Chain A
Amino acid sequence: MKVGIIRFPGSNCDRDVFHALQLVGAEPSYVWWNQRDLSNFEAIVIPGGFSYGDYLRAGAIAAITPVIEGIKDVVKDKKPVLGICNGAQILAEVGLVPGVFTINQKANFICKWTDLEVKTNRTPFTHLYEKNEVIRMPIAHAEGRYYVDYLDELHDQDQIVLGFAGNNPNGSLEAITGVCDHEGLVCAVMPHPERASEIILGSDDGLKFFQGIVNY
């Protein structure tokens, strides 16, 4: 299965995601920000990092690059798109997922392991988890506080994917840290599944995000 990993100037989790995708038998390859045609891929991952130095707002400048038009076509073709950390911020800026990931409550960069609850398993990335299963993955961000105007709609449409279990480190609304579009095919998560994809890293709880793409 061919999976495209999008690279912007400042992306820095691209190789980790490549490795995690190889672990589950996918065929990952890198795609630069100026590539418009993504039709040869069956799924897309936007990895974390600091695209364009987080200037203006995290993800704001990546959101207007040519590759985003390609990603919109991928979404129209009903293929899965996963944004991790900076990738999640980009998907929110584009408006492919609802809401925004903005500056943490205490304006600090938080890098730590967190317990997370899988709120829905209807997405390609979470269908191998049990609903309400608690998993352990790290976060690493300064702009991860989730905010949205129409929270009820997210509940009604089953668009909340991940929530912090217990402690809410960045002050996110209802401790939400992962959301998806109506279809559940575009998924934006702040925690890093690729950093929890092998026991040697401290947990392999995140590997099912990538297995899920292959087995969907």
Chain B
Amino acid sequence: MILVMSMKYHAQVEISLKRGMLNPEASTIQRALALLDYLVENTDTIEIVKFDLEASNPEVAQEEVQEMCERLLCNPVIHDYQIRINEAEE
């Protein structure tokens, strides 16, 4: 008998704009900070999508989340993404 153990993983997807893409949200935040006399540079924003999923091992979870990024979460024309997989806390 083969016993397939399924584990629960926590996935975090960080979606950022590709290098060189204009980020109007970030430039507005930077200008607003300047209004408060905080002079900062290279302001950027990223979007984070978090969820739990079940998979037989972290590699399988990673593959599945990557597929989610390609099919829905990101637009390959403008986005880069980074996936973090951890064992979910009960």
Tell me if chain B binds chain A. Answer: yes
A60 touching B77, Cβ below 8 Å? no
Closest to A104 in B: B24
Query: Could you tell me the distance in whole angstroms from the C-beta of B45 to the nearest C-beta in chain A?
Result: 11
Interface 9-mer from B2-10, B36-44, B55-63, B67-75: B67-75
Closest to B73 in A: A56
Query: Could you tell me the distance in whole angstroms from the C-beta of A204 to the nearest C-beta in chain B?
Result: 34
Query: Could you tell me the distance in whole angstroms from the C-beta of B84 to the nearest C-beta in chain A?
Result: 19
Given contacts A147-B77, A148-B77, contact A64 B22 (CB under 8 A): no
**CB of A194 within 8 Å of the partner chain:** no
**CB of B28 within 8 Å of the partner chain:** yes
Query: Could you tell me the distance in whole angstroms from the C-beta of B51 to the nearest C-beta in chain A?
Result: 13
How far apart sit A148 and B76, CA to CA, in the bound complex (Å)? 11
Query: Could you tell me the distance in whole angstroms from the C-beta of A108 to the nearest C-beta in chain B?
Result: 8
**CB of B33 within 8 Å of the partner chain:** no
Q: Which B residues touch A102, using CB under 8 A?
A: 78
How far apart sit A68 and B73, CA to CA, in the bound complex (Å)? 17
**CB of A57 within 8 Å of the partner chain:** yes
How many of A's residues come within 8 Å of B, CB to CB?
19
**Which residues A121-171 have CB closer than 8 A to chain B?**
145, 147-149, 171
Query: Could you tell me the distance in whole angstroms from the C-beta of A20 to the nearest C-beta in chain B?
Result: 30
A105 touching B22, Cβ below 8 Å? yes
Closest to A93 in B: B75
**CB of A70 within 8 Å of the partner chain:** no
How far apart sit A61 and B72, CA to CA, in the bound complex (Å)? 7
In the complex, which of the residues B22, B25, B71, B78 contacts A100, with contact meaning CB atoms closer than 8 Å? B78
**CB of B35 within 8 Å of the partner chain:** no
Q: Which A residues touch B73, using CB under 8 A?
A: 56
**CB of A187 within 8 Å of the partner chain:** no
B77 touching A107, Cβ below 8 Å? no
Given contacts A64-B71, A64-B72, contact A149 B24 (CB under 8 A): no
Pick 7 A–B contacts, CB within 8 A, sort by A. Answer: A56-B73, A61-B72, A64-B71, A64-B72, A107-B24, A107-B28, A171-B22
Shortest beta-carbon contacts, A-B, top 8: A107-B24, A100-B77, A103-B24, A107-B28, A107-B25, A100-B78, A100-B75, A105-B24
Interface residues of A (CB under 8 A from B): 56-57, 60-61, 64, 93, 99-100, 102-107, 145, 147-149, 171
